Amino acid sequence: MPLHTPFHERTAALCTSYQWKDWAGHAAVCRYAHSHEPEYYAFRQSAGLIDVSPLYKYEVRGPDAARLLARMMVRDIAKLRIGRVTYCCWCDDHGKVIDDGTVTRLDEDWYRVTAAEPTLHWLQRLGRGMQVRIEDASASLAALALQGPNARAVLAACSDADLDGLRFFRVTTAKLDGVDVWITRTGYTGDLGYEIWTQSENALRMWDALVAAGTAFGLRPCGLDALDMTRIEAGFVLAGVDYFSAPRVVLESRKSTPNEIGLGWTIDLERDPFIGQDALRREKKYGSAWQLVGLEVDWATLEALYDSYGLPTYLPAEACRSALPVYRGRRQVGQATSHTWSPLLKKQLSLATVRLEDAALGNELQIEHTVEFERRTTKAMIVPMPFFNPTRKRKP
Amino acid sequence: MAKANRYDAILIGGGHNALTCAAYLAKAGKKVVVLERRHLVGGATITEEIHPGFHFSACSYVVSLLRPWIVRDLNLPKHGYEVIPLEETFTPFPDGRYLLRDADPERTRRAIAQFSQRDAEIYPMFGQAMSELGRQVKPIIDQPPPDPSSFDPRELFKLLGLGKTITQKGDDWTAAHVKMLTMSAVDFLSEWFESEHLIAPMSVSGIIGTFLGIRSPGTAYVLLHHYMGEIDGAFRAWGLPRGGTGAVAEAIASSARSFGAEIRTEAAVEHVILDGDRATGVVLENGDQLHADTVISGCDPHRTFFGFVGEQNLDSEFTTQIKRFKMRGSSGKVNLALDALPEFTCKPGVGRHLYGDITIAPDIDTLERAYDDAKYGEFSKKPFMDIVIPSLNDPSVAPPGKHTMSMFVQYAPYKLKNGPQDWENLREAFGDAVIDHLAEYAPNIKDIILHRHVLTPWDLEQTYGLTEGNIFHGELSLEQLAFLRPAPGWARYRTPIRNLWMCASGTHPGGGIMGSPGAMCAFAVLGEERR
Amino acid sequence: MSDRSYDVAVIGAGHNGLAAALTLATDRRKVVVLEARDQPGGLCSAREFHPGYTAPGVHQDTSGLQPALADRLAPHGLRLRKEEFPVYAPSESGKGVRVWRDANRAHGEIVGLSEKDAEAYRDWRAFLDRVGPFVRSVLENAPPPMNVSSLASLWELGRRGLALRMLGTKDMTEVMRIAPMCVADWLQENFESELLCEALAAPAVQNTFTGPWSAGSAVQLLFHQCRAQNEIVGGAPALIDALVAACEARGVEIRCNAPVANIRVRDGRAGGVVLADGDAIDARQVAAACDPKRALLDLLAPGWLPVDLEERIGNVRARGTTAVVWLALSDSVQFAGREDQRIEAARVGGGTLDDLERAFDCAKYRRVSDTPALDVRVPTIANPGLAPNKHHVVTIHASFAPFDVDGGWTDAARNELGDRIVDRLAAHVPTLKSRIVGCEVLTPDDLAREYHVTNGHLHHGEHALDQMLFMRPTPSCAHYATPIDGLWLCGSGSHPGGGVTGTPGTLGALALMAP
């Protein structure tokens, strides 16, 4: 039986659709009602509240904490100031990505790491012989993501946090209905939003306070289906879908470097050694093989395709994670791994990994599209990412 | 000479390998006879009614290695072959805790995490690495071994090909192969895991059937051997044959018969008829003579050459090599007819934990001490046990409400201090030690035994014809594998006696209900190369 | 010193460090050797353990010295003994057997145990003589490549394979068969006398975490026997003297009391070392003759090494199992029943292979052997100067005394160990205890502290099948290079492993100098 998150009592009562899925061994709501669209619109137009407790969370403390994380992450964690959060990824010796997540510096010698995959063994291995205490806080910390244009107003209504002072990718402590919480201005929707962390025993109180405060602002509990759509709009990659954690695959060709999954910008290459540095230096010198791109399906060809079958254009309402081949002319140049219809942008979007030489912005590619059991292709253009990037996301 | 007694091939012994070999030969249109000494076929792959109403897989008890292509080629499911997967591995510990691993990765992760969070994270990666290693070596067990001592350029190319397979994935994988082959199970596992509660139960698959301890170099290899189990393509799956392992032998026999093979039971071979250096047939103990172009022994090398051929008919160097081929039985079986199910202190009640494999492997030192006892000619006072309760999965083998329990026990050395005959005196004491050890974890066991059947290596030799009671027809140690099994230069199922072949576990790739030696011997006899 | 920049800094002035320095200096490189202790030699250095009594090094077996190195050191005073001396294996009954490598001489002794064995010993030695050149070529050259990815490695493997093939089908398959075996099986296939088997098996398991029934031990015996030649006059310290003389003649600077604190790395390249006193020494290359765990885990700041390699080096098995005892005696050593013979070397066990195995069993459970197996030398017979007139020194290697003994190596544990070892020897040398005037006991823990060898493992890492050849210490460092440019390994932790051979040092230096 899957584990229950600290919010299960509330989420289970609300989940009238009975649609759940496994997230790191926990039961996670896919959608609360039969349609997930209201949840999508909550994220984009009012405020969505999603239980993200199944994230793996680790507390790294001690005088060598920064040294350990600087060695582990491609980003120079030594430079991270107190009260800041950073998004980064970490690699194996060959510069292939193991996982991605956030690092929050809570105090001088205190960091919190989130990860998609279990990471304790890796932290422990790297921490051998260092003055550092590593604690798996995955079960003891509960987390909610509050995302959407009204998120700030909801939070202001129920907590004492200085939200105007809390800039993008910062952390603050606060009281929320008397409960001690950390609030980070982070999220996986690419919108204005916060993630709120507390000890698991306070979870329900925190949920109730947020829901009560949110009623006036259109807050809605959301599930993973809506989150998946928003993260694709935001151009965020997902481990196990858009790329594969290097130690979990055997084939070399299935592994990716940070550059190849669009995380090249997180690398601080020239500094003390970190894991994968040599390989990433070589990659910088000789170039990478692949690149992550955003694809936008050309609506006219799609419509024409369906028209040729005498059908109205049909696209699934939810995001899809089955990989599809991407061609340039007759040559397969890569694969599209995440797809969604964007109700807001009225576009069909895909995240794709294509050969570097074919990855220029504006290139016209073909993506497989099945109509009536027949495999056809439609035109798709490489467009800049994120597909959706509201200014409110970073606005002070 | 009566035509009835003239065959293309005679198979000595009706074990599963001989039956497999016979089936393939018959399928190729040969006139084949299988001669089994006992009243039923299967050799050590048999089901016997040891106590009225209770049917036991008396010797071998689980199936994992039977090659899927043999199942397909011989159409075994049609002949009654069915395997019920054993998904759980349950290990009770003296500290009152237990480890239950099963096919559900998340449940297994949580079970391991009780002992070590870190190990729980690493466990799936270990499985992945083992599967990959298995994938890389699998071609080897489905091919006759290349012979480095040969001057044939084809052999050299084969050897190179093998080298390429092993090294193609880079030095890390090559090193992993070397480690697999040479390290001890405990050392190998300790490179991955920290918790003894995980290492001990995992390491025992490295010692099953061998005269080695979990700390003995070379046991990591057997770990892989047992990891390569395969049912319907799923890696690392063990299973109970419906109707006991005898049903597997019956299925192969039935398949062989369907291709026209003749199978005679209670037809004990006395010796092989030689004409100069050629085998031309066999003489049965009842005096009957059977003649054939090809004689194939499904018995172990010692029995084949010293029992059926005779030392006087072999050159001394070959004799020395076969004498050096180590048999060394190390394991016994205790079969119990039970009135009820055992109740484990650490996990009371009936649950999935009883359906799978129950491993009594409390900690590394206890297992190693069990081996130490055996080294000096005693049975283990606290033996390692691999237990299954077949009647839970297949109620047909016991009367309603009753159960059968099969306990594979190590170590029970063939060579006791006072010689193997001493087993006649120590058999029940050994049975008591086994029950006492189990009773530490399941105290009700003593009250629910209806019948106890103890098989020592001595019995395995006397009843089932396994020399020194070795279940693999010869120790699976590195110097007795591949081109050295059973003797250098004679690893291709041929023997120095022309027209006499070997097809059983004493040849490459070795023991277990695998079928490959039998099938590959048949290909060799037919002059075919498979794959 | 004004000019502090060297071509190569060698860490550790043990025999391998010096052999490496000598090889490098011969090629006109400017070399400094940095030694933590107050004298060069490491485990080979002489030590006055009791006033007036000197032990000729921890290493007492010098029969494996690389012949080429012996030749090179001859001008600097290195001499090999003209004759081999037998190893005496006493038995409880007082009969015992002396074993020579020379089958003819051994015949007379072995025949007393078993006529069959005396003949078998001849055949066995003949086999060793036949395969010796091949085995030595394995031990005196860099390990073979582990893949066939390039033409060069294919060629090299082919060359080595051919050398093996040239042994002939019979000997080749025999070598391949023996390699993974346990030494007990191999010997019992040949000999019926348990005493002989035990005496021959002892060197295969000494300094290792294996017993005679452990697979992989046979090859250790094969190596030991094929490499054995006459010992060095003056023992291991004489080798050090010759090495030091040869090094100094070529301008090598040897600095004692100079423990290295860390290896300096810049941009992934080793650029010298920093000493414990903070002194920085620039060198274009660094050759570490210390054990691999020390070199790569202790002396290198974390981060420079790939994580995988760090993990692998951490996994290298190196659990010391040997305790060393030095005795100062007021008179000679007289074995019961052999009072008239001057016995230079003895292997004291229980008389059967099982006794040796039982000694090992204890180590598995983190205990000192109840009845340890002793490798005994009386160096004063050949070298009376080590002790006052007519007095003697006895050196003993006792197996097995595990580094990680339960309860730790306390003073009480050390004393008990010493007593146990002396008692064991006294059982065969009745006058021993009355003649002891001084004694020093070195536990694996003492060896680790005083000689800077990790876990007190005299071979810098287990001699096991998975830690040999291209696997020693790990595949990526097996050819003496490390992933850090300019950092090389040249100690016993590399192929061909431990013992007084000088080969890892020489091969490491050659690898460093290769274009």
pLDDT band at B209 (very low <50, low <70, confident <90, very high): confident
Domain ranges in chain A are 8-55+139-222, 57-136, 246-256+289-383
- What letter represents residue C323's amino acid? A
Chain B, 509-528: which have a CB under 8 Å from a chain A CB? none
Distance between CA B102 and CA B237 in Å, rounded?
10
Closest CA to C20 of C356, C498, C488: C488
Return the pLDDT at B237: 61
Q: In this structure, are B439 and B331 located in the same domain?
A: yes
**Can you tell me which residue has the tokens 């030392």?**
B311
Query: Average pLDDT in the B239-266 region?
Result: 95
Contact A130 C314 (CB under 8 A): no
pLDDT of residue A378 exceeding 70 = yes
Residue by residue, pLDDT tens for chain C (515 residues) are 435 689 999 999 999 999 999 999 999 999 999 999 999 999 999 999 999 999 999 999 999 999 999 999 999 999 999 999 999 999 987 789 999 999 999 999 999 999 999 999 999 999 999 999 999 999 999 999 888 778 888 888 888 888 998 999 899 999 999 999 999 999 999 999 999 999 999 999 999 999 999 999 999 999 999 999 999 999 999 999 999 999 999 999 999 999 999 999 988 899 999 999 999 999 999 999 999 999 999 999 888 899 999 999 999 999 999 999 999 999 999 999 999 999 999 999 999 999 999 999 999 999 999 999 999 999 999 999 999 999 999 999 999 999 999 999 999 999 999 999 999 999 999 999 999 999 999 999 999 999 999 999 999 999 999 999 999 999 999 999 999 999 999 999 999 999 999 999 999 999 999 98
The amino acid that residue A360 corresponds to is: A
| Cβ pair C81, C232 in contact under 8 A | yes
B348 and B422, same structural domain? yes
Give me the pLDDT at residue B296, please. 97
pLDDT at B225: 67
Position B233 confidence tier, pLDDT thresholds 50, 70, 90: very low
Class level of CATH domain A57-136:
alpha beta
d(CA B137, CA A58): 39
Mean pLDDT of B203-208: 88
- Indicate whether B209 belongs to any domain: yes
Confidence of residue A10 (pLDDT cuts 50, 70, 90): very high
Same domain, B296 and B336: no
**pLDDT computed for residue B144 by the predictor:** 84
Contact A120 B125 (CB under 8 A): no
Q: Which residues of C touch B196 (CB under 8 A)?
A: none
Burial code (b: 16+ CB inside 10 Å, e: under 16) for A343-377 equals ebeebbbbbbbbeeebbeeebebbbbbebeeeebb
A360 alpha-carbon distance from chain centroid: 24
Q: How far is B169 from chain A (nearest CA, A)?
A: 9
Nearest to C67 by CA among C132, C123, C115: C132
Say which residues have a Cβ less than 8 Å from residue C20's Cβ, sequence separation at least 6: C10, C287, C289, C490, C505, C506, C508, C509, C512
Domain architecture of chain C: domains with CATH: 5-44+65-76+234-316+459-513 (3.50.50.60), 87-227 (no CATH), 322-451 (3.30.519)
A284-302 pLDDT per residue, tens: 999 999 999 999 999 999 9
Which residues 6+ apart lie within 8 Å of C514 measured at CB?
none
pLDDT of residue B226: 60
C475/B326 CB distance under 8 A: no
For domain A246-256+289-383, the CATH class is mainly beta
pLDDT of residue C192: 96
Please compute the mean of the pLDDT values over residues B201-208 and round it to a whole number: 90
Q: Can you tell me which residue has the tokens 């082959």?
A: B181
Instruction: Decide which of B201, B233, B265 is a domain's last residue.
Output: B233
B62 vs B439, more confident: B439
Pairing label, strands A85-91, A324-328 = unpaired
**What CATH class is the domain A8-55+139-222?**
alpha beta
Do B293 and B224 lie in one domain? The reply is no
Among A26-30, A196-200, A209-213, C335-339, the range scoring the smallest mean pLDDT is C335-339
Q: Where is A371: in which H helix or E strand?
A: strand A364-371
Residues paired with residue A320 on neighbouring β-strands, in sequence order: A339
Look up the domain containing B358 and give its range: 327-467
pLDDT of residue B76: 95
Maximum average pLDDT range among B20-34, B134-148, B479-493: B20-34
Percent of chain C beyond pLDDT 70?
A: 99
CA distance C284 to C301: 18
Per-residue model confidence (pLDDT) at position C149: 75
**Among candidates C165, C215, C364 on the partner chain, residue whose Cβ is nearest the Cβ of B217:** C215
Q: Are residues B333 and B461 in the same domain?
A: yes
Which one, of A28, A396, A395, A390, lies nearest residue A189 by Cα?
Answer: A390
Q: Are residues B318 and B348 in the same domain?
A: no
Average pLDDT over chain B reads 91
Does residue B395 sit in the same domain as residue B486? no
Q: Is B118 on the interface with C (CB under 8 A)?
A: no
Categorize the per-residue pLDDT at B387 as very low, low, confident or very high, splitting at 50, 70 and 90: very high
Sort C369 into a burial class: Cβ within 10 Å, 0-12 / 13-18 / 19+: buried
Verify that B337 and B461 share a domain, yes or no. Answer: yes
- Mean pLDDT along residues A184-188: 97
Q: Partners of B375 in the beta sheet?
A: none
CATH number for B251: 3.50.50.60
Task: Give the length of chain A.
Answer: 396
Distance from CA of B161 to the nearest CA of A (A): 20
Q: What does the H/E/C string look like for C111-144?
A: CCCCHHHHHHHHHHHHHHHHHHHHHHHHHHCCCC
Angle at B431 between CA B428 and CA B434, to 5 degrees: 155
The whole-number pLDDT of residue B62 equals: 84
C5/A50: higher pLDDT = A50
Of B198, B233, B268, which closes a domain?
B233
Mean pLDDT in residue range B45-52: 93
- The residue among A52, A86, A30 whose CA lies nearest residue A229 is A30
B461: left (phi over 0), alpha (psi -120 to 50) or beta: alpha
Is B90 among the domain residues? no
ipTM of the shown complex: 0.94
- Mutation for C interface: A77, A91, A125, A270, most C CBs within 10 A: A125
Interchain pair A275, C307: CB under 8 A: yes
Residue B528 has pLDDT above 70, yes or no: no
Could you write out the DSSP letters of every residue in C257-289? S--EEEEEEETTEEEEEEETTS-EEEEEEEEE-
Res A362: pLDDT: 96
What are the chain B neighbours of A59 within 8 Å (beta carbons)? none
Contact B21, B522 (CB under 8 A): yes
pLDDT of residue B1: 46
> What's the CATH code of the domain at B376?
3.90.660
Instruction: Report d(CA B497, CA B486) in Å as an integer.
Output: 15
A88: distance to nearest CA of chain C, Å? 19
For residues B229 and B225, what is the distance between their CA atoms, to the nearest angstrom? 8
Q: Are residues B384 and B483 in the same domain?
A: no
Q: Shortest CB distance from C302 goes to which of A71, A92, A93?
A: A71
**End-to-end Cα separation, chain B, in angstroms:** 39
C-beta atoms of B324 and C176 within 8 A: no
Touching subunits for chain C (3+ Cβ pairs under 8 A): A, B
Residues C440, C54: contact at Cβ < 8 Å? no
pLDDT of residue B29: 95
Closest CA to A319 of A241, A379, A220: A241
Percentage of chain B beyond pLDDT 90 is: 74
Q: How far is CA A370 from CA A78, A377, B208, C343, in A?
A: 49, 8, 52, 90
Chain B residue nearest residue A23, CA to CA: B106
Q: Give me the residue from A25, A121, A247 closest to B118, CB to CB.
A: A121
Inter-chain CB pairs, A–C, below 8 Å: 24
DSSP label at residue B146: P
- The three-point CA angle C73-C75-C80 to 5° equals 55
B125: closest CA of chain A, how far (Å): 6
Per DSSP bridges, beta strands C5-11 and C280-288 are: parallel
pLDDT at residue B228, rounded to an integer: 67
Write the burial class of residue C479 (CB in 10 Å: 0-12 exposed, 13-18 middle, 19+ buried). buried
Mark whether B273 and B336 lie in a shared domain: no
Whole-number Å distance between alpha carbons of A278 and A257: 12
User: Is A208:A217 a contact under the CB 8 Å cutoff?
Assistant: no
Does any domain span residue B105?
no
Q: What is the model's pLDDT at position B2?
A: 53
In this model, does residue B510 exceed pLDDT 90?
no
Query: B–C: how many Cβ contacts below 8 A?
Result: 99
Structure tokens at B382: 């606290």
Mean pLDDT for chain A overall: 96
Nearest C-alpha neighbor of B245 from the set B515, B518, B513: B513
Amino acid at C115: E
CA gap C61, C467 in Å, rounded? 22
Matching residue, tokens 């060359």: C159
Contact (Cβ atoms closer than 8 angstroms) between residue B410 and residue B384: yes
- At residue C2, the pLDDT reads 38
Which pLDDT band holds residue B531 (cuts at 50, 70, 90)? very low
Cβ pair C173:B368 closer than 8 A: no
Quote the pTM value: 0.94
State the smallest CA–CA distance between residue C149 and chain B in angstroms. 8
pLDDT at B274 over 70: yes
Report how far Cα B50 is from the mean position of its chain's Cα atoms: 21
Q: For the residues B441-461, what does the mean pLDDT come to?
A: 96
